[in-house]
């Protein structure tokens, strides 16, 4: 049985009937930064414990975010290539997007705490601020429901669109999420050998 657009949008996921393609750029790297950093920590790197913990956890989140992004794109394409009554790939994709977003933002939080530099300036509408908004809307689903902050008939705090992710308060394109991941990749490459002599 083919589901109607009304059923898709009102009983399954907000704006699901509008999801017709995936405009997410591919992420080609398969990073192994954590492996390298662990080996460097054993044999080369001499960092204070707190600095090592910040770097270690940033690298873990950078790797996790990259894996989740790739997994999400695979699941979105799986959803798009199956009949509309097969919805589980959509929710697998949504879960992986939520993981990607949370790992990205938590990685930035670690670097911000370590460096003392803010992630963004409040109100600057940068991709980092919008990442934080979408992250919070996904993380605090209970508050979104209780506070009446979800669009009518929405079943989740965030939803997937053709070109990115949206929430009631913000949106982030796949290109912007990809750019955040590339920025994290660049930082990870530098951090892997931090303190090596």
pLDDT at 79: 96
CA distance 65 to 59: 10
Q: In this predicted model, what pLDDT tens digit does every residue of 61-72 receive, in sequence order?
A: 999 999 999 999
Contact 183, 58 (CB under 8 A): no
pLDDT at 197: 44
Phi, psi for residue 167 in degrees, rounded to 5: -135, 180
DSSP state at residue 17: G
pLDDT at 108: 98
Tokens found for residue 96: 């992986």
- Listed in sequence order, the residues at least 6 apart from 52 whose beta carbon sits closer than 8 Å to its beta carbon are 41, 45
Contact 101, 180 (CB under 8 A): no
pLDDT, averaged per 10 consecutive residues of the chain (197 residues), comes to 88 94 90 88 87 94 97 97 88 98 98 95 96 94 79 86 95 98 95 68
pLDDT at 41: 87
pTM score of the predicted model: 0.92
Other beta carbons within 10 Å of 97: 28
CA distance 141 to 155: 10
């Amino acid at each position: 049985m083919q589901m109607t657009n009304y059923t898709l949008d009102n009983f399954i996921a907000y704006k699901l009937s509008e999801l017709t393609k995936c405009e997410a750029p591919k992420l080609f790297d398969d990073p192994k930064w954590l492996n390298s950093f662990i080996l460097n920590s054993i044999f080369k790197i001499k960092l204070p414990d707190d600095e090592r913990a910040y770097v270690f956890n940033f690298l873990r989140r950078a790797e996790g975010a990259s894996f989740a992004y790739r997994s999400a794109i695979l699941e979105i394409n799986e959803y798009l290539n199956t009949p509309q009554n097969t919805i589980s790939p959509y929710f697998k994709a949504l879960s992986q997007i939520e993981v990607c977003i949370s790992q990205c933002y938590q990685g930035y939080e670690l670097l911000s705490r370590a460096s003392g530099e803010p992630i963004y300036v409040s109100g600057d509408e940068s991709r980092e601020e919008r990442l934080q908004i979408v992250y919070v809307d996904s993380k605090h689903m209970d508050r979104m429901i209780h506070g009446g902050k979800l669009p009518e008939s929405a079943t989740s705090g965030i939803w997937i669109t053709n070109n990115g992710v949206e929430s009631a308060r913000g949106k982030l394109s796949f290109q912007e999420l990809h750019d955040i991941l590339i920025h994290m990749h660049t930082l990870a490459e530098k951090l892997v050998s931090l303190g090596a002599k």
